[in-house]
Amino acid sequence: MPQITKITTQKQRKDRYNIFIDYGKGEEYAFSVDEEVLLKFQLKKGQDIGDVDLDDIRYFDDIQKAVSMALNFLSYRMRSESEVRAYLKKKQIDEPIIQEAIHKLYHYNYLDDLEFAKAFVRTQINGGQKGPVTIRMELKEKGIEDKKIEEALRLYSIDLQEEHARMIAEKSMGKEKHISTRALKQKIEQTLMRKGFSTDVITEALLNMNFERDSEEEWESLCHHAAKTRRRLQKYTGYEYEHRLKQALFRKGFPIDLIERYLSEQEDFA
């Protein structure tokens, strides 16, 4: 029967051991095992090894290798179970081995999808740039169960959501130039919706915000857009030209009385 003749520590990995076996033709390297596997099977010099034992040893060592890979993956940041599974699958680890490795990671508290979800939500809250709809979608993409997502999102209070939505709106207002009051509000609402805030939160956040531009700013914005639109309408004249210009400016959110004023002044200079 094959017998272990020597056990040595690997130079690069002190937690792994090289096993040498004599199969009847002299000592030769057989395989390496993790320290936990070495202890589990109580491997030692002079021990007889049967074929069944070798299969068991290799199976448990494969699990430990998968656990080690996962721990390295987890060392950079928290991960969801789904992310760890995908990582091990990418490393071409067989599904039964992945399942056992995942079980071990849970046993030693290296995996916890609820805590992962809570940590993810806290990070997004601190960033202040995403609403709960977007956060929920991103957590689902990471394989988190709906129930755990909803529990984690309780950390994101309505007051905080409104505060963040208001901050984003105020920042957006400062960037927008040459845009009508109505278009400005619509654009900010669309921005907040894209970032994942609900309609109720957006409405409340914008309730006391002043989107009104002073009359001079509004007039300058209209003139800016009108000049650009006129260049596109050069082939039209008379009623067709005036009608298309009105439509274009109205779609930009400018009030009809301001548009009429612009057209009247253009006629005066014609």
Same domain, 33 and 84: yes
Say if 211 falls within a structural domain: no
Task: Please name which of 221, 184, 227, 229 lies closest in space to residue 206, comparing C-alpha atoms.
Answer: 184
Say if 174 falls within a structural domain: yes
The dihedral formed by the CA atoms of 71, 73, 74 and 80, expressed in degrees to the nearest 10? -120
Same domain, 17 and 85: yes
CA separation for the pair 27, 171 (Å, rounded): 73
* 112-155 tens-digit pLDDT: 999 999 999 999 999 999 999 999 999 999 999 999 999 999 99
Same domain, 15 and 93: yes
Give 177's pLDDT tier (boundaries 50, 70, 90). Answer: low
* 12-50 tens-digit pLDDT: 888 899 999 998 889 999 889 999 899 988 899 988 887
pTM over 0.85: no
Say if 201 falls within a structural domain: yes
What's the gap between Cα 25 and its chain centre?
Answer: 57
Encoded tokens for 23? 């199969």
Encoded tokens for 239? 């009623």
Same domain, 183 and 145: no
Number of domains in the chain: 4
Give 178's pLDDT tier (boundaries 50, 70, 90). Answer: low
Same domain, 141 and 172: no
CA separation for the pair 255, 262 (Å, rounded): 11
Same domain, 92 and 7: yes
DSSP string, 20-67: EEESSSSEEEEEEEEHHHHHHTT--TT-B--HHHHHHHHHHHHHHHHH
Q: In which domain, by residue range, is 248 found?
A: 217-269
Same domain, 135 and 165: no
* 202-211 tens-digit pLDDT: 999 998 776 6
